[in-house]
Amino acid sequence: MPGQPELRELENRLGRLSAFGESRTDEFLRERELLERAQEFLDLAPSVRTRLEELSTLMFGSLLDEIEANLTHAIREVLGQDRVVFTTREVKNNRLNVRFQIRNQGDEEQVENILHGQGGSVCNILSVGLRLIALSQLHEERHRPFLVLDEQDCWLRPALVPVFMKLVAEIAERLELQVLVISHHPVDLFAESTERIVALRPDREAGARLERVR
């Protein structure tokens, strides 16, 4: 039989082991609760993700519809063709991805490559349209309403340049934007749609000089 000292030591060890067991039990219960909460979150994640994708699509849906209408109007005005600009929308990695496409009115299957359509004219028009729309959405006090278009009429047939420049001028005036256009086309093709024209002339001494044309 153990003596009194041995019994007290065993009782102390039992007390320590009991306290340790209780602490480990409490820790286990806390971890199990955290695990259950995490599992509940994981169970909800697919439905939450789906709902967020739906909300993102709805949130930008009306804006994209308006952009489609404006770009379709621009294509028809400049090219004089009955074409429709439309977008395909998809949420990937929690981001809304938008792809712009164009087709003939009433023909769902005849989709044209916007980068090469009409010898690049379609891409030029859509590029300008998107930049004008993007600039119009910026905060007025934080961004200057100024846009530079560098040879955006380069792929347009000369006959289309006046219509293109007139449309740009009308949109810029409506949005209160200042637009600087750089072009290699003859001045008379866009003279009626500009407030000021400056030509870059070769100069034997200075290399180049600016000349006010209008």
Could you read off the pLDDT of 3-36 as tens digits, one per residue? Answer: 677 777 777 777 787 888 888 888 888 888 888 8
Lowest mean pLDDT among 91-100, 121-130, 153-162, 192-201: 91-100
Alpha-carbon span 27 to 88, nearest angstrom: 51
**Domain ranges within the chain, ordered by starting residue:** 120-214
Range in 53-57, 80-84, 108-112, 182-186 with the lowest mean pLDDT: 53-57
Residue in the structure block whose two tokens are 């967020």: 52
178-182 vs 95-104, strand pairing mode? unpaired
CB 124 within 8 A of CB 134: no
pLDDT in tens, 28-60: 888 888 888 888 877 776 776 676 666 666 667
pTM: 0.62
Q: Which tokens sit at 90? A: 């998809």
Please give the pLDDT value at position 14: 75
Rounded to 10 degrees, what is the CA torsion of 28, 30, 36, 39?
-90
pLDDT (tens digit, 9 = 90+) per residue, 104-141? 776 667 787 777 666 678 888 888 888 888 887 777 77
Nearest Cα to Cα of residue 186 among 155, 162, 152? 162
* Strands 146-150, 178-182: pairing kind: parallel
- Side chain identity at residue 189, one-letter code: L
How many whole angstroms separate alpha carbon 122 and alpha carbon 50? 35
Sequence letter at residue 87: T
Q: How far apart are CA 10 and CA 15, in angstroms?
A: 9
Could you please state the CATH topology (level 3) that the domain comprising 120-214 is classified under. Answer: Rossmann fold (3.40.50)
What proportions of the chain, in percent to the nearest 5, are helix, strand and coil?
55, 20, 25
Q: CA nearest 112: which of 101, 120, 123? A: 101
